[in-house]
Amino acid sequence: MSYQKIAIIGGGNLGAAIAQGLLKSGFSQAADITVTKRNTTTLAALQRQGVQITSDNAAAIQGADVVLVALKPYNVREILTEFKAAFNSRQLIISVVTGVFIDELEAIVGHGLPVFRAMPNTAIAIEESMTCICQKNASPEQVNWVTSLFNTVGVAVNIEEKLMDAATVLGACGIAYALRFIRANIQGGIEIGFDVRTANLIAAQTIKGAAELLIRGGRHPEEEIDKVTTPKGCTIVGLNEMEHQGFSSSLIKGIMASYDKIITG
């Protein structure tokens, strides 16, 4: 089993970020990565690093051991169907497309190929993705290979396909939610006296530290919150005011709205 040549079909925000992560981590050599897109001008930076950039999906798929599909949900079926003749029985397919089931992809690419769905996030560009993976038709070796790919560019976890939509909301959309939380901290920080650059640094590093406390310590957030909330102190006053304003509730409702959008289309 040799999976060296990777074709990323759809080099947009996520496809390009995956190529960057594969390069940066050393998982792939630039010459082994091909990225496709109709307007290739936006991929000049990858091209300068030696990645093959093309609009020729058929050639990219034919030359690949692994075809990683990063197209939009609304045109993925049509595009894969157009190029279905380019797939062969030795390939492995990975789709990062939201809401498109393995059975649908399998029916298009044929050959009984191992088909994976992966849900990374844009932090894959800096090897810090959280990636949820599920699969069909794959051997344990193939599962290990795909898992190790995503572990190289962050942290990977294997889940059941029925949880992929939830993984999309929590892990992939979650990047935007976390960044909006950081932005709100910056806005508050400016109001209490910091310039934007300093507020940005303090907010981002503080949130990174909070996340690391959970990841390294394996703890529940409330255990760490208890260590910060001095009785009669300023933290609990701030927290309670945030909750009076619906902080946790608004986040949970946002997560549910996002999930409903995937389910209902």
Binding residues, as ranges, are 9-14, 57, 70-73
The residue with its CB nearest to ligand NDP is: 12
Using the rule CB under 6 A, which residue among 4, 31, 58, 72 binds ligand NDP? 72
Which of 3, 70, 61, 1 has the alpha carbon at shortest distance from 34?
61
Question: What strands, in cross-sheet order, belong to the sheet with 92-95?
Answer: 52-54, 33-36, 6-9, 66-69, 92-95, 115-119, 129-136, 154-158
What's the Rg (C-alpha) of the chain? 21
CA 227 → CA 47, 233, 237, 255, distances in Å?
49, 12, 15, 27
Of 76 and 172, nearer to ligand A1CAB (C-beta) is 172
Using the rule CB under 6 A, which residue among 2, 39, 89, 264 binds ligand NDP? 39
Contact residues for ligand A1CAB (CB under 6 A)? Answer: 98, 168, 172-173
What is the rounded distance in angstroms from the CA atom of residue 240 to the CA atom of residue 237?
A: 5
Choose the contact partner of 28 out of ligand NDP, ligand A1CAB, none; CB within 5 to 8 A by kind. none
Pairing type for strands 66-69 and 6-9 reads parallel
Choose the contact partner of 38 out of ligand NDP, ligand A1CAB, none; CB within 5 to 8 A by kind. ligand NDP
Could you say whether residue 34 binds ligand NDP (CB under 6 A)?
no
Using the rule CB under 6 A, which residue among 6, 15, 64, 123 binds ligand NDP? 15
Residues of span 181-220 touching ligand NDP by CB under 6 A: none
